[in-house]
Amino acid sequence: MSFPGMDPKIQVQVDPNEDTEWNDILRDHGIIPQKEPDPTEQLEEALSEALQRQHENRLEGLDIDELEELEGLEDDEFLESYKNQRMNEIKRLQQEKSKNYQFGDVYHINKPEYAKEVTEASKSVYVVLIMSGNNLQSRVINEVINSAARKFKDVKFVEIQGSRAVENYPEANLPTILVYHDTNVVKQYITLTMLSGNQTSLKDLEKLLVDVGAVGDKDDRLLVNQDLDDDLEDERRTRFTKKSMRGKAVDDDDDDDFFD
Interval 53-85: pLDDT, tens? 655 555 565 555 665 665 655 556 656 766 677
Is residue 195, in this structure, part of any structural domain at all? yes
pTM: 0.52
The mean pLDDT of the chain is 75
Number of domains into which the chain is organized: 3
d(CA 158, CA 118): 8
Is residue 139, in this structure, part of any structural domain at all? yes
Q: Give the range of the structural domain holding residue 95, as residue numbers without chain letter.
A: 64-100
What is the average pLDDT across 35-63? Answer: 62
Helices (H), 103-222: 114, 136-151, 162-165, 202-212
Same domain, 96 and 2: no
